[in-house]
Structure 1
Amino acid sequence: MLRDGLPELPSLFTPIPLREAGDAMARAIAMAPGHGAGTLAWVRAMSRIEAAVVLEPEQPLGAARLVLFAAISALADAVVALGPPEIPVSLRWPATLIVNGGEVGLARLASPPGAAADVPPDWLVVGVEARFVNAPGLEPGFAPTRSSLEAEGWDETDPAEITAAWARHLMAGLAEWERDGPQRVAERYLARLEHDPETEGARRALDTGTAELLWERDGARHRRAWV
């Protein structure tokens, strides 16, 4: 059954429901200049999770980009809270959600065109997307690197409940960032981040001023940007 609204949504959010064919990221970006922080565009759909929220950060854009990692971590937290405890949930650089080894979702970030990295932007929009069910007619295993939440056992929840849980976890993560500093965002993200051939065995960190991935190998320091 398709829900009319989002359950248990914190009052600081202003939800804007969209039809199933809607684009939450595009709607939030269009509304960002005039509607302010907390505007939450979300798609009413049974097959997918799609939502985007407007933020008004106080940090320069370079540092504020960490919100991408807060958003994908919040989606992972929401999925873990509402799903089978034995199914592994991880992240792939920079912001892809991996469930039981398959790609399920991602997070995206948008800022005003031409915004300078060393100045707080007028707004940011951070959004998430995730497959809840596979497209009709597709058999399990049709794409070994991709999956959906329902296929992995998320059959006692629905996209609206996960969307609301994402919003709550994101709010908690942003409050923790404000209280304890950006390193807390980095720690939460890195705890779930998969290694790849370049970083395998290396100690990793995030540059909280630029949102770049850092690691050291054989005495050489490396960094990886995502923008």
Structure 2
Amino acid sequence: MTTGLPELPPVFHPVIALREGGGDAMRRAIEAAPGHGAGTLVWVRSLARVEVAVVLEPETPLAAARPALFAAASAFADAIGAYGPAEVPVSFGWPDRLRINAGEVGRARLAWPPGTPEDAVPDWLVVGIEARLIFPTGWEPGHGLHQTALREEGWLEEDLSATDLTAAWARHLMAGLAEWQHPGRQGGFSRLAERYLARLDAEDWMGAARRGLDPATGALVLEQDGTRRMHALAEALVAA
């Protein structure tokens, strides 16, 4: 049973649905991770936002497993692409911000067991997203500078609900993780990096540098005029 979601691949089990205001999907997934393990999906039934998290059990050290965040962000972009106006750009702000038409709509999230060494395989990871469908009641223009909501950018309620987007994101996430972890002709980390970097917004602090991602750590690599700068993924993440 998927507790209200469209049919999902059997890898997602159990599926835990939270009421709006009944808890944080990320926190609930973190709590469930040690007991339920990989494939546990927690989502929030909501009319105003999308909030979903999935438990993973990586086979690589923590530093190399963190790029699962990039798969989560790309899965969001792929999921909404099938529903919204094709001309509206979907992009990312380093490393976890989700943007629509240059306005921030949400973020990707990542958590791991506290105290896990960078070179140790973590017992679990939790990866998720949260995105705004509509602004909360009483929201005034200008209150949240550079913020937006999916409904404001052309994603219609009759075409896309939190339920639809949750299920679509979960499917795209699994496809992206499989492409990364089981590389074929065009898979592997290079494909994961390519998909993420194609949507990464250029910020002033990046200058005109050529951008890349370090497969060992997920760090953002900036190269310009023979100079190489690295921005650590772990240090840039907003706490889950």
| TM-score, normalised via structure 1 length | 0.95
1:101, CA displacement in angstroms?
Answer: 1.3
In structure 2, the partner of 1:76 is: 77
1:174 aligns with 2:177: yes
- The amino acid of 2:27's aligned partner reads A
For residues 18-46 of structure 1, what are the alpha-carbon distances to aligned partners after superposition, in whole Å with 9 as ceiling and x for unaligned? 01012100000000001010000000011
Distance 2:36 2:3 in 1: 22
1:193, CA displacement in angstroms?
Answer: 0.4
1:167, CA displacement in angstroms?
Answer: 0.2
RMSD over aligned CA atoms reads 1.4
1:141, CA displacement in angstroms?
Answer: 5.0
In structure 1, the partner of 2:219 is: 212
Cα contact 2:98–2:106 (8 A) shared by 1 = yes
In structure 2, the partner of 1:48 is: 49
1:197, CA displacement in angstroms?
Answer: 1.3
Describe the SS at the equivalent of 2:204: coil
Match of 1:165 among 159, 164, 168: 168
Cα contact 1:82–1:162 (8 A) shared by 2 = no
Size of the aligned set, in residue pairs, is 225
- The amino acid of 2:20's aligned partner reads E
1:4, CA displacement in angstroms?
Answer: 5.6
Distance 1:101 1:142 in 2: 16
1:18 aligns with 2:21: no
In structure 2, the partner of 1:222 is: 229
Distance 1:141 1:44 in 2: 28
Most deviating of 199-208 and 141-150: 141-150
Unaligned runs of 5+ in 1: none
Match of 1:184 among 182, 191, 209: 191
For residues 74-133 of structure 1, what are the alpha-carbon distances to aligned partners after superposition, in whole Å with 9 as ceiling and x for unaligned? 111111222111111111100111101110010111111111111211100011100011
Cα contact 2:217–2:233 (8 A) shared by 1 = no
In structure 1, the partner of 2:238 is: none
1:49, CA displacement in angstroms?
Answer: 0.3
Describe the SS at the equivalent of 2:222: strand
Cα contact 1:71–1:127 (8 A) shared by 2 = yes
Cα contact 1:103–1:147 (8 A) shared by 2 = yes
1:200, CA displacement in angstroms?
Answer: 3.2
- The amino acid of 1:11's aligned partner reads P
In structure 2, the partner of 1:86 is: 87
